[in-house]
């Protein structure tokens, strides 16, 4: 049975469980304190852990695959391979300091840097050719400067609101762009059955992610305007075209990007298409 680790709480928990559910896996906990959910039908056992522990245990070979943040995998220096970016939990790891105190990482040479990700700070400092004093904290890193614990910080930033509230501004380039990812252990050897289960998991998740980006558009149009209509809705490979039981009219179906659907419907109407319908796609295999 394939063991899949899922964040037990925090900003990654909800989107991760929703994604797996949409992909056909049973992940709902009958008891919210339950650490395991067994999906016998799919040969999967879901394990609920802290995102940082998922990163560590994947690299240690304790778990087969897991969902965690790219930043956590990098911070733990774990032996893990990224299988699929999942499109949620976007954040960036960067340095920050009081406005005017530093414009680049070079200005942080010799400074005290508060962080929960010591290894990332050390790597970034080495890459920039500077020496810093790392002040390790478990949380509330953005308060370290105000408390006098550090001269600057290095932390994961989502919106930047917490930095602004703490009177800090980013310094230098973003060290790491992060999001939720599906990972597996680099050195873990899986049985053929588990390897096949991982392939199915990746295929299902990718299918759901693609489906979320697209909608299906159906419409009828005169054959005379088909070239213009096809130019608007070329589909992923090609649109599906079928004759209608009315001379000179055809039915067209194509996948379009969700954010473009409403605009495309307007444009299709303008070129002469009628009976235009847009429908959500729940899953896909492309």
Given strand 274-280, what is the order of strands in its sheet?
Answer: 240-243, 249-257, 214-222, 274-280
Instruction: Give the separation between CA 274 and CA 51, rounded to whole angstroms.
Output: 49
| Residue 16: predicted pLDDT | 97
| Residue 79: predicted pLDDT | 83
89-101: average pLDDT: 94
What is the model's pTM? 0.87
Check the CA dihedral 143-147-149-150 and report its sign. Answer: positive
Q: What DSSP assignment string belongs to 72-103? A: HHHHHT--EEEEEE-S-S-EEEEEEESTTS-S
109-130: average pLDDT: 94
| 112-115/152-157 β-pairing | parallel
| Residue 228: predicted pLDDT | 97
Q: What is the CA radius of gyration of the chain?
A: 25
Q: How many helices and strands in the chain, by DSSP H and E?
A: 8, 15
SS3 274: strand
| Residue 33: predicted pLDDT | 65
| Residue 161: predicted pLDDT | 86
| Residue 59: predicted pLDDT | 80
Residue closest to 231 by CA, chosen among 261, 267, 266, 257: 267
Q: pLDDT (tens digit, 9 = 90+) per residue, 31-48? A: 666 789 999 999 999 999
Class of domain 91-178: alpha beta
Task: Grade residue 107 by pLDDT with cuts at 50, 70 and 90.
Answer: very high
CATH topology of domain 214-280: Alpha-Beta Plaits (3.30.70)
269-280: average pLDDT: 97
Who wins on pLDDT, 16 or 77? 16
Q: pLDDT (tens digit, 9 = 90+) per residue, 39-82? A: 999 999 999 999 999 998 888 888 899 999 999 999 887 788 99
Q: pLDDT (tens digit, 9 = 90+) per residue, 229-253? A: 999 999 999 999 999 999 999 999 9
Instruction: Give the separation between CA 271 and CA 261, rounded to whole angstroms.
Output: 15
Cβ(104)–Cβ(169) below 8 Å: no
| Segments of the chain assigned to CATH 3.40.190.10 | 2-88+179-189, 91-178
With a cut of 70, say whether residue 191 has pLDDT above it: yes
Reading the block at residue 38, the tokens are 């067994």
| Residue 30: predicted pLDDT | 67
Cβ(134)–Cβ(111) below 8 Å: no
Characterise 170 by phi-psi region: left (phi > 0), alpha (psi -120 to 50), beta (else): beta
Instruction: Give the separation between CA 204 and CA 202, rounded to whole angstroms.
Output: 5
Average pLDDT across the chain, whole number? 93
With a cut of 80, say whether residue 213 has pLDDT above it: yes
256-280: average pLDDT: 97
Q: pLDDT (tens digit, 9 = 90+) per residue, 122-160? A: 999 999 999 999 999 988 899 999 999 999 999 999 888
Q: What percent of the chain has pLDDT over 90?
A: 80
Which runs of consecutive H residues, i.e. helices, occur in 172-278? 192-213, 226-232, 261-271
Class of domain 2-88+179-189: alpha beta
SS3 128: helix
Given strand 180-185, what is the order of strands in its sheet?
Answer: 36-39, 44-49, 2-7, 65-69, 180-185, 80-85
21-33: average pLDDT: 83
SS3 9: coil
| Segments of the chain assigned to CATH 3.30.70.120 | 214-280
With a cut of 70, say whether residue 221 has pLDDT above it: yes
């Amino acid at each position: 049975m394939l063991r899949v680790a899922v964040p037990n709480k925090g900003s990654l928990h909800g989107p991760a469980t929703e994604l797996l559910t949409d992909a056909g896996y049973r992940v709902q906990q009958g008891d919210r304190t339950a650490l395991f959910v067994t999906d016998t039908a799919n040969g999967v056992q879901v394990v609920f852990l802290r995102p940082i522990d998922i990163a560590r245990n994947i690299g240690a070979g304790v778990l087969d695959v897991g969902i965690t943040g790219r930043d956590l995998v990098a911070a733990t220096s774990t032996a893990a391979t990224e299988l699929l970016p999942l499109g949620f939990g976007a954040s960036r790891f960067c340095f920050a300091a009081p406005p005017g105190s530093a414009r680049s990482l070079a200005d942080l040479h010799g400074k005290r840097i508060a962080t929960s990700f010591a290894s990332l700070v050390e790597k970034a400092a080495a890459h920039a050719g500077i020496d810093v004093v790392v002040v390790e904290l478990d949380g509330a890193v953005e308060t370290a400067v105000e408390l006098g614990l550090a001269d600057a910080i290095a932390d994961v930033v989502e919106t930047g609101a917490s930095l602004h509230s703490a009177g800090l501004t980013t310094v230098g380039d973003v060290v790491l762009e992060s999001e939720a990812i599906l990972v597996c252990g680099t050195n873990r050897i899986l049985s053929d059955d588990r390897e096949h289960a991982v392939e199915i998991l990746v295929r299902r998740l990718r299918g759901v992610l693609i489906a979320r980006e697209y909608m299906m558009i159906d419409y009828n149009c005169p054959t005379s305007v088909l070239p213009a209509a096809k130019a608007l809705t070329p589909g992923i490979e090609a649109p599906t075209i079928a004759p209608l039981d009315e001379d000179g009219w055809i039915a067209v179906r194509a996948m379009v990007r969700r954010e473009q659907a409403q605009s495309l419907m307007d444009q299709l109407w303008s070129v002469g298409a009628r009976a235009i319908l847009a429908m959500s796609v729940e899953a896909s295999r492309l």
